[in-house]
Amino acid sequence: MSGLLEYALAVALLAVFLSAFSVATSGLLRTRTRRIAEVLDRHARRAIWVGALNLGFGVAMALPFFALQGATGGEAWAFPGLMILVGLLILVGIGFAGLSQWVGARLAAESSPARRILLGSLSLTLGAGLPLAGTFFILPLMLALSLGALILSFLVRPPVQDPPPA
């Protein structure tokens, strides 16, 4: 029973930390996170595929360095692999702030922006903390959506707005 309580406490602490991170990132990168949320509104399926392919490619680029480190015993071989994974983690973190904004807007559209980001981040983190469904479905989906939406936010043009009527 104590293992379950420790796990629940770890997930709750992670939810608090990721919520604070999402609010701070959304404050610092306001236009980028808003753009990520717009991309998710229009291209969520495309973002999943782009993110999954890029995550797979990034991990595939990092694994040979760890294999070399294990085969040779040289600790220096792990450094390039770690740098690749840290870069992916930074990009996923920025995308997670936009994903939190998008989920929060779907859960509570009438709330303030900070409250939407907080609610979205809490719900995503607590959902990813579920023992089986979170680990094998929600967490990989979150990672792929976050990275894919960030990449597409640089590549996809914003929608053209109609001119105001004369």
The answer to whether the beta carbons of residues 36 and 150 sit under 8 Å apart is yes
pTM attached to this predicted model: 0.88
Question: pLDDT at position 1, please?
Answer: 67
- Residue 7 counted as domain residue: no
**Domain annotation covers residue 3:** no
- Residue 121 forms part of a structural domain: yes
Give the residue from 153, 166, 164, 59 showing the smallest Cα distance to 98: 153
- Within a domain: 160: no
Q: How far is CA 17 from CA 20, 44, 53, 101, 117, in A?
A: 5, 26, 28, 16, 13
Q: How many domains are contained in the chain? A: 1
Residue 126: inside a domain, yes or no? yes
User: The domain containing residue 78 runs over which residues?
Assistant: 18-155
Tell me if 12 is assigned to some domain.
no
Residue-wise pLDDT for 14-39, tens only, equals 999 999 999 999 999 999 999 999 99
